[in-house]
Amino acid sequence: MNNVSVALRGLVLGTLLSTTAIAACAQSEAQQFPVATKTLKNGMKVLVQTDHSIPNVALYIFYRIGSRNEHPGTTGLSHFFEHMMFNGAKKYGPGDLDKAMEANGASNNAYTTQNVTVYQDWFPRSALNLIFDIEADRIQNLSFDAKKIASEREVVASERRTSVDANNGGILDEQLKATAFIAHPYQWPVVGWMSDIEHWTMDDLKHHFEMGYAPNNATMVVVGDVTPEEIFQLCEKYIEPIPQHAPPPPVTTVEPEQMGERRLIVHKQAELPLLMIGYHVPQTNSPDFYALNILRTVLVQGESSRMYQRLVDKDQIALEVTASQGPAFDPTLTIFAAQPKQGVDPQKCENAIYDELDKIKKTPISDVELEKAKNIRLVEFYHQMRTINGRGNTIGTYEVFFGDYHKLFDAATNYGAVTKEDVQRVAQKYFAANNRTVATLIPDNGEQGSAKQ
């Protein structure tokens, strides 16, 4: 198949007319930012959005492989592999990739999540050919140099020491997930357990590459000073000849229903305690996604939010309170985190969080709160759309996690349709005691070194 979908189509589908001002506003914005798409013969889908406001380009490649595709013993392999994708292929040997990019005005990065591995290139349009040459080289001809693997292993160990050992939030988040999931691979950290970082083998790496890095397992998004035609031509030249092969086997493990609260404590040398509470919630493409986002907005976004008002402003028991939920293919967690003030028992923060959840379960939020949350979501849309980088990441995330980038432009309509009763219903359905895992970090500053014994 070689489907060039109607290029430069307007994104207002017309079938989802909404009477709300919000939706009308966002849809007219969508018309300003049309996306052209094409699926290459090898199965890679390419999305292009033109924007000549700066002479630069943001190029994203999303591979549908992340830590959920790993197994005990090789946790962290996806993330390690992400690092190896910069360490040499056939044409661009170790170190050549970064040197060539930077000498041509380009920079790069990449990130790995439980679900995806994402490569990012930011460059002046003069570097277009080079970037495609590099991406094609590493997708098909990655090299596995034993010396590079050994040194990159140390780099990743250092990354783990920084993001986990030296970060109380990192430690507690890791422990929370390891407890909240007993079956599903979301239980292990994306960066991997330290002993796995130390032990995975060359064969593990090669297997991972063969499994995850098929062009048919990837989506490319290009935004900036380009035309769809030139990007599709570059894809035909550089990417289309790469043969497709089997994508990773499906993750079939389903986390069994949690049937009671789980609690864990981390004792560690620290100035302040920390609290995290995770509730199982459905995956991103669930119909409840929008109501859950509205609920989180009402609870924690801005200084007028319920939990900020309660924990930080009124009771003055926390420095901050947040709620997060990342994009996920499988049922995931909404995690509340509170930083208790010194001398405050984290239990007090915990009780206040439950109390605020209970209020919404009992009485629907107000009309003003609902409208506020929808307004905040609309502004967020414009925030994402104001840079070529933000658009690259957002268009790709919608395409990959919802299966259709149009959902980005439908979001205002979908948020507009959420009612107070929907918000109450998801609060009741997902934020129950039996469905939660509570993680508390308790400072242990006894005799010197006792925390480590």
Partner 1 sequence: MNPERKALRFVVGAVLVLGFAWTSRAQTLKLPPHEKIVLKNGLTVLLMEKHGVPIVDIAVIVKSGSVADPAGEEGLASVTAGLLHKGTAKRSAQQFAADLDFIGAEFSADASADYTTISSEFLTKDVDKGVDLFSDAVLHPVFAQGEVEKLLAQEIDGIKAAKDEAQSVALNYYYGYLFNKHAYGRPVGGDELSLARIKRDAIAKFYETNYTPGNTILAVAGEFNAAQMRAKLEQALGGWKAKPSLLPALIGPTAVKGKKLLLVDKPDSTQTFFVFGNIGTAENDPDRVAIRVVNTIFGGRFTSELNEALRVESGLTYGAEAFFDSRKEPGAFAIYSFTKNESTTQAIDLALQVLAKLHKDGVTPEQLASAKAYLKGQFPPSIETSGQLARTIAAHEFYGLDDDEINQMEARIDAVTPAMAKQVIAKHFPEENLVFMLIGKASEIGPGVRKYATQQDSRKISEPGFWPGAK
Q: Which of residues 296-355 bind partner 1 (CB under 8 A)?
A: 301-305, 308-309, 312-313, 316, 319, 326, 339, 341-342
> Site residues for partner 1, window 176-215 (CB under 8 A)?
189-191
CB of 433 to partner 1, least distance (A): 26
| Contacts of 314 by beta carbon, 8 Å cutoff, 6+ apart | none
Check binding of 161 to partner 1 (CB under 8 A).
yes
Binding segment toward partner 1, per CB under 8 A, in 9-17, 82-90, 208-216, 424-432: 82-90
Stretch that binds partner 1, among 137-145, 268-276, 279-287, 411-419 (CB under 8 A): 268-276
Among 124, 282, 331, 364, binds partner 1 (CB under 8 A): 124
Long-range contacts of 172-176 (CB under 8 A, 24+ apart): 172/266, 172/274, 172/276, 172/337, 172/439, 172/440, 172/441, 173/276, 173/335, 175/264, 175/266, 175/439, 176/264, 176/276, 176/278, 176/333, 176/335, 176/437, 176/439
Q: Among 79, 138, 420, 436, which residue sits at the site for partner 1 (rule: CB under 8 A)? A: 79
- Adjacent-strand bridge partners of 118: 62, 111
Distance CA 215, CA 131 (A): 16
Beta carbon of residue 155, minimum distance to partner 1 (angstroms, whole number): 5
Q: Least distance to partner 1 from the beta carbon of 112, Å?
A: 6
Write each residue from 387 to 426 as x if it is in contact with partner 1 (CB under 8 A), else as -, in one continuous string. xxx-------------------------------------
Instruction: Assign residue 343 a region (left: φ > 0; alpha: ψ between -120 and 50; beta: otherwise).
Output: left
Among 8, 155, 246, 265, binds partner 1 (CB under 8 A): 155
CB 334 within 8 A of CB 278: yes
Query: Any idea what DSSP says for residue 42?
Result: T
Instruction: Name the residue nearer to partner 1 (CB basis): 25 or 417.
Output: 25
Using the minimum distance from each CB to partner 1, give the nearer residue, 40 or 400: 400
**Beta-sheet pairing, 332-340 with 274-281:** antiparallel
**CA–CA separation, 35 vs 57, rounded Å?**
15
> Helix %, strand %, coil % for the chain, to 5?
50, 15, 35
Q: Would you count residue 446 as binding partner 1 (CB under 8 A)? A: no
For 433, the token pair is: 């005691």
Neighbours of 7 (CB within 10 A): 15
Helix (H) or strand (E) holding 278: strand 274-281
The answer to the question of residue 158 lying near partner 1 (CB under 8 A) is yes
Number of H-type helices and E-type strands within the chain: 16, 11
Residue 357 beta carbon to partner 1: minimum distance, rounded to whole angstroms:
20
DSSP state of 341: P
x-or-dash string of contact with partner 1, 4-33, rule CB under 8 A: ---------------------x---x----
Question: Which DSSP state fits 436?
Answer: E
Q: Provide, rounded to whole angstroms, the least separation between the CB of residue 126 and partner 1.
A: 8
Number of residues near partner 1 (by CB under 8 A) = 93
Give the Cα separation of 239 and 138 in Å (integer): 11
Min dist CB 153 to partner 1, Å, is: 7
Cβ 8 to partner 1 shortest distance, Å: 18
Structure tokens at 161: 């020491």
From the list 2, 129, 141, 162, which residue makes contact with partner 1 (rule: CB under 8 A)? 162
Interaction with partner 1 in 218-237: which residues (CB under 8 A)?
none
At its nearest, how many Å lie between partner 1 and the CB of residue 184? Answer: 17
C-beta of 40 vs 339, nearer to partner 1: 339
Using CA atoms, how far apart are residues 309 and 316, in angstroms rounded to an integer?
A: 9
Identify the three-state secondary structure at position 63. Answer: strand
The stretch among 106-114, 200-208, 212-220, 251-259 that binds partner 1 (CB under 8 A) is: 106-114
**Sole binder of partner 1 in the list 145, 159, 230, 288 (CB under 8 A):** 159
Q: Which of 106, 218, 221, 408 binds partner 1 (CB under 8 A)?
A: 106
**How far is Cα 65 from Cα 118, in angstroms, rounded to an integer?**
9
The minimum distance between CB 55 and partner 1, in angstroms, equals 5
